[in-house]
Amino acid sequence: MNRLARYLPILDWGKGYGREALTSDMVAAIVVTIMLIPQSLAYAMLAGLPPEVGLYASIFPIMAYALLGTSRTLAVGPVAVLSLMTLTAASAVAPPGSAEFIAAALVLAFLSGVILLALGILKLGLLANLLSHPVVSGFITASGLIIATSQLKSILGIKASGAAMPELLISLFENLGSTNLPTLVIGVASIAFLAWVRKGLKPLLMRFGLPERTADLTARTGPIAAVIVSILAVVAFDLEAKGVKVVGQIPQSLPPFTTPLFDPALWRQLAIPAILLSVIGFVESVSVAQTLAAKKRQRIDPDQELIGLGAANIAASFSGGYPVTGGFARSVVNFDAGARTPAAGAYTAIGIAIAALFLTPLLSSLPIATLAATIIVAVLNLVDLRTPLLIWRYSKADFAAMATTIAVTLVFGVEPGVIAGVLLNLGLFLWRSSRPHAAIVGRVPETEHFRNVKRHKVITDPRIVTIRIDEALTYLNARWLEEFVLEAVAEKPQVKHLVLMCSAVNAIDASAVESLEAINHRLSDGGIRLHLSEVKGPVMDALERSALLEDLTGDVFLSQNAAFSTLLIASEEENSLPPANDVWMARGLI
């Protein structure tokens, strides 16, 4: 792959593009378009935006990603979690649905695009690493619960609002009395139908003789059936007059040209939400893209993905959309329907554009309850109760990070949830890095192996203490090391030699070198020699650039066994050490 193709992947796949790929891509585009129409409308509604915004967000962003993204089958557009995050962030600026709210959503898309692009150009995708699996998983589960709960109002035909569970539930409960029965019937029927489509339609179609893949893809377009049936029901029984809320007139138009408002105060207010939204969107999108790429042994480049997603969001901000990213369900459908290249995405965009131009009048009688049902069935799939159990079993610290993310997200909303999870996870990581595992070891009788004195019957000598350290030595644990070593020899006047067994030490930073120097001199003041054993090659290379090896009162042994044997003999021979030198290593406040 040449340099230019690395930044413009279309040059790579475009040159071999032939009739076969065209056909595959077209078929995939048709299936995805049918699936996307109700989804786009529903997610825009979830974000507190007019339904057409969802369609607009599914046109130019897809094209931008097709040009610059590295995944061949990722389908970009509005997704549930980012819609909720947009709702929360823009609600802080203006009431949902207002012109200022729509403007805020455009600014969010723009900022998020700029952030993603900048991270991509600076190759800082690893910022996303701060979001651990437990935090992301907990966040998505909690978001799914909030989204599903927030949609209950549309199923019941009542008003309710709130960015987190407590307000939402109180608001729903207070308005329960004004439930609209026809709406409830449509909503519940839609949920039941969509849930059955998800589980029962594919086997049924297969029983009718459809091949598995075709059955699967047909089942994926099920929601469009719910849309059609519910529109017909509204028209046939004049349900609008009976209080069933519908989507209403949607403008027949291609995406308008919009410019995100330049307002520094607004930008500052939306900066943190935009960062969170970008990183969450990126993490999920890359995970989907990698999963799909691996199936065909293709590769994706996360830094280039940042650029592709950044361009998609900037495109959204200039074409009346709102924040987008690579969606899981639609990408899987795209892949399964046979998409070969990003051109499938471009065809999907054309499909949605045709829908925006010609099909919107048909959707004016679509009940909002049906869209709410689409969202509920989709997002309940996000709620994952197995992962918390697995994580609880695996690691209590990771579980704590996850549980905190879930709890804070549910109670205080999406932004505090992500931030709390990230900070707690980072804190726990630093805490664990500060307290590495280390053990005083002795020789297993009649072997050359050394094991923890607390766990095994081993041979030790009162004049020699050996400490095995099971972690890289860094500034986070440098002071711990000083304490651990001094503790190990404190009040043991017999000790003459201390050996640090470094078989598991992958790195030593400058702070740790200074601590080793301090340990060396402190031990020397106390009449103890410091030795090292089993130092790895790269670590030894680094230490040779420091003054430690010159100053070391003892030796560096290739193997712990050599260290122990040599020092045993030396201890027998020597009656006393040479006089301790009096160097003051610590330099402090005077």
Please list every residue from 291 through 310 that binds a copy of itself, using CB under 8 A: 291, 293-299, 302
- For residues 174 and 212, which CB has a smaller minimum distance to a copy of itself in the complex? 212
- For residues 266 and 372, which CB has a smaller minimum distance to a copy of itself in the complex? 372
Site for a copy of itself in 133-172 (CB under 8 A): 133-134, 137, 140
Q: How far is the CB of 361 from a copy of itself (least distance, A)?
A: 28
Q: How far is the CB of 256 from a copy of itself (least distance, A)?
A: 26
**Number of alpha carbons in the 13 Å side-chain half-sphere of residue 497:** 25
Site for a copy of itself in 365-384 (CB under 8 A): 378-379, 381-382, 384
Neighbours of 578 (CB within 10 A): 10
Beta bridge partners of 461: 464
What is the per-residue binding string for a copy of itself in 462-481, x denoting contact by CB under 8 A?
Answer: --------xxx-xxxxxxx-
Taking CB under 8 A as the rule, does residue 199 contact a copy of itself? Answer: no
What's the rounded Cα separation, in Å, for the pair 494 and 201? Answer: 79
Site for a copy of itself in 408-447 (CB under 8 A): 425, 429-432, 434-437
Q: How far is the CB of 180 from a copy of itself (least distance, A)?
A: 27
Binding-site member from 120, 157, 187, 327 for a copy of itself (CB under 8 A): 327
The residue range among 44-52, 361-369, 385-393, 554-562 that interacts with a copy of itself, by the rule CB under 8 A, is: 385-393
Q: How far does CA 97 lie from the centroid of its chain?
A: 29
Beta bridge partners of 469: 438
Place of tokens 């939306």: 270
Q: How far is the CB of 168 from a copy of itself (least distance, A)?
A: 20
**Residue 484: Cβ-neighbour burial (10 angstroms; 0-12, 13-18, 19+):** middle
What's the rounded Cα separation, in Å, for the pair 519 and 529? Answer: 10
3-class secondary structure per residue, 399-414: HHHHHHHHHHHHHHCH
Binding-site member from 515, 533, 553, 560 for a copy of itself (CB under 8 A): 515
What's the rounded Cα separation, in Å, for the pair 304 and 71? Answer: 10
Q: Which one, of 136, 122, 130, lies nearest residue 310 by Cα?
A: 122
Place of tokens 């995050």: 85
CA distances from 342 to 69, 334, 360 (A): 8, 10, 26
**Per the structure block, which two tokens stand in for 123?**
């190759």
Q: How far is the CB of 228 from a copy of itself (least distance, A)?
A: 21
Binding-site member from 44, 55, 391, 532 for a copy of itself (CB under 8 A): 391
The CA R_g of the chain, rounded to the nearest whole Å, is 31
- For residues 150 and 365, which CB has a smaller minimum distance to a copy of itself in the complex? 150
- For residues 48 and 78, which CB has a smaller minimum distance to a copy of itself in the complex? 78
**Per the structure block, which two tokens stand in for 43?**
């997610």
Q: How far is the CB of 330 from a copy of itself (least distance, A)?
A: 8
Q: How far is the CB of 257 from a copy of itself (least distance, A)?
A: 27
What's the rounded Cα separation, in Å, for the pair 308 and 329? Answer: 19
Q: How far is the CB of 227 from a copy of itself (least distance, A)?
A: 17
The residue range among 171-179, 228-236, 313-321, 501-509 that interacts with a copy of itself, by the rule CB under 8 A, is: 501-509
Sign of CA dihedral 295, 300, 302, 304: negative
Binding-site member from 4, 265, 385, 586 for a copy of itself (CB under 8 A): 586
Q: Which one, of 79, 59, 176, 34, lies nearest residue 375 by Cα?
A: 79
Residues binding a copy of itself: number (CB under 8 A): 104
CB 147 within 8 Å of CB 378: no
Binding-site member from 523, 530, 563, 567 for a copy of itself (CB under 8 A): 523
Strand duo 450-452 + 438-443: pairing: antiparallel
What's the rounded Cα separation, in Å, for the pair 8 and 144? Answer: 35
CB 249 within 8 Å of CB 364: yes
The residue range among 60-68, 235-243, 306-314, 514-522 that interacts with a copy of itself, by the rule CB under 8 A, is: 514-522
The residue range among 242-250, 253-261, 347-355, 490-498 that interacts with a copy of itself, by the rule CB under 8 A, is: 490-498
CB 245 within 8 Å of CB 367: yes
What is the per-residue binding string for a copy of itself in 256-285, x denoting contact by CB under 8 A?
Answer: -------------------------x--xx
The 3-state DSSP class for residue 9 equals coil
The residue range among 225-233, 324-332, 346-354, 365-373 that interacts with a copy of itself, by the rule CB under 8 A, is: 324-332
Binding-site member from 119, 142, 277, 286 for a copy of itself (CB under 8 A): 286
What's the rounded Cα separation, in Å, for the pair 140 and 588? Answer: 49
- For residues 182 and 302, which CB has a smaller minimum distance to a copy of itself in the complex? 302
- For residues 409 and 515, which CB has a smaller minimum distance to a copy of itself in the complex? 515
Site for a copy of itself in 529-568 (CB under 8 A): 536, 538, 542, 545-547
- For residues 355 and 489, which CB has a smaller minimum distance to a copy of itself in the complex? 489
Task: Give the H or E element holding residue 451.
Answer: strand 450-452
- For residues 58 and 365, which CB has a smaller minimum distance to a copy of itself in the complex? 58
Please name the residue ranges forming H helices in 490-529. Answer: 510-525
Site for a copy of itself in 32-91 (CB under 8 A): 79-82
What's the rounded Cα separation, in Å, for the pair 476 and 80? Answer: 39
The residue range among 188-196, 259-267, 343-351, 503-511 that interacts with a copy of itself, by the rule CB under 8 A, is: 503-511
Q: How far is the CB of 507 from a copy of itself (least distance, A)?
A: 8
Largest CA distance in the chain: 106
The residue range among 14-22, 114-122, 237-245, 329-337 that interacts with a copy of itself, by the rule CB under 8 A, is: 329-337
The residue range among 58-66, 253-261, 344-352, 394-402 that interacts with a copy of itself, by the rule CB under 8 A, is: 394-402
Site for a copy of itself in 117-136 (CB under 8 A): 126, 128-130, 132-134
**Residue 390: Cβ-neighbour burial (10 angstroms; 0-12, 13-18, 19+):** middle
